Amino acid sequence: MIYQRLFLTALLVVYAVLAYATTTYEAPFSYEPVGPRAFPLLLLALLAAGTVYLIIRPGHMAEENADTPLTRQVLGRLVLCVLALSLFAFFFEKLGFVVSAFLFAIAMCRLYNGRWVTSVITAAVMALAFYGLFDRLLDVPLPLGVLSGLGV
């Protein structure tokens, strides 16, 4: 309950920042009665009202979320997973799709309790298969990165 209130308070701060940001939204020349500022401000006001209501009366959580409490261990894995995703995004173009997807898939397999050998094999198959499927068959251009010298 306390975490939810903290999160909601953080949301209120975000609304305030966004509302402040709208002060500069002036149409250079206006030919309609409602400018670009009104609608977002209306939404922010409604959001703030709703969020304050939830801070006062947060209500009960669904059972689905209640029976899997966030232990330190799970939290650690979540952070690792987000880190792996971010590194994947960061190296996506730098190392190219095949290499970054291979490394990323190993990390993900390991995170979801795959064994080392199976992880490496799965990752290699996935990286190559998805590259072939999307870049070659479906015409979604994917970066080759460090492999671009191979001339494939």
Partner 1 sequence: METLGYLGQGFGVATTPLNLLTALCGTLIGTVVGLLPGLGPINGVALLIPIAFALGLPPETSLILLAAVYLGCEYGGRISSILLNIPGEASAVMTALDGHPLARQGKGGIALSISAAGSFMGGLIATIGVTIFAPLLARWAVAFGPAEYFVMMVFAIACLAGMAGNKPMKTAVASLIGLLLACVGIDANSGVYRFTFGALGLADGIQFVVLVLGLFSISEILVLLERTYYGQSALKTSGRMLFNAKEAMLVKWTVIRSGVVGFFMGILPGAGATMASAVAYMSEKRMATRDNRFGEGDLRGLAAPETANSAAACGSMVPMLTLGVPGSGTTAVMLGALTLYNITPGPLLFQTDPQLVWGLIASLFIANVMLVVMNIPLIRVFTKILAVPYWALVPGIAIVTAIGVYGVHATTFDLFLMIVIGVVGYILRKFDFPLSAVLLGFILGGIMEQNLRRALSISNGELSILWSSPITWGGWALVVLMVVLPMYRGWRRRRAVVPASP
**Euclidean distance between CA atoms 11 and 51, whole angstroms:** 8
Binder of partner 1 out of 9, 16, 43, 148 (CB under 8 A): 43
Give the three-class secondary structure for 49: helix
Binder of partner 1 out of 12, 103, 120, 122 (CB under 8 A): 122
- Write the DSSP assignment of the chain as a string of letters: -HHHHHHHHHHHHHHHHHHHHHTT---SS--SSS-TTHHHHHHHHHHHHHHHHHHH---PPPHHHHSS---HHHHHHHHHHHHHHHHHHHHHHHT-HHHHHHHHHHHHHHHTT--HHHHHHHHHHHHHHHIIIIIIIS------GGGGGG--
Structure token pair of residue 145:
């990165």
Interface of this chain with partner 1, residues 74 to 103, rule: CB under 8 A: 74, 77-78, 81-82, 85-86, 88-90, 92-93, 97, 101
Provide the minimum distance between the beta carbon of 128 and partner 1 in the complex, in angstroms, as a whole number: 11
Binder of partner 1 out of 12, 18, 99, 124 (CB under 8 A): 18
Residue type, position 57, single letter: R
Binder of partner 1 out of 16, 116, 118, 132 (CB under 8 A): 118
Binding status of residue 16 toward partner 1 by CB under 8 A: no
Provide the minimum distance between the beta carbon of 85 and partner 1 in the complex, in angstroms, as a whole number: 5
- What residue ranges bind partner 1 (CB under 8 A)? 3-4, 7, 18, 21-22, 25-28, 30, 32-36, 39-40, 43-44, 46-47, 50-51, 53-54, 57, 59-62, 65, 68, 70, 74, 77-78, 81-82, 85-86, 88-90, 92-93, 97, 101, 104-105, 108-114, 118-119, 122-123, 126-127, 130, 134, 138-142
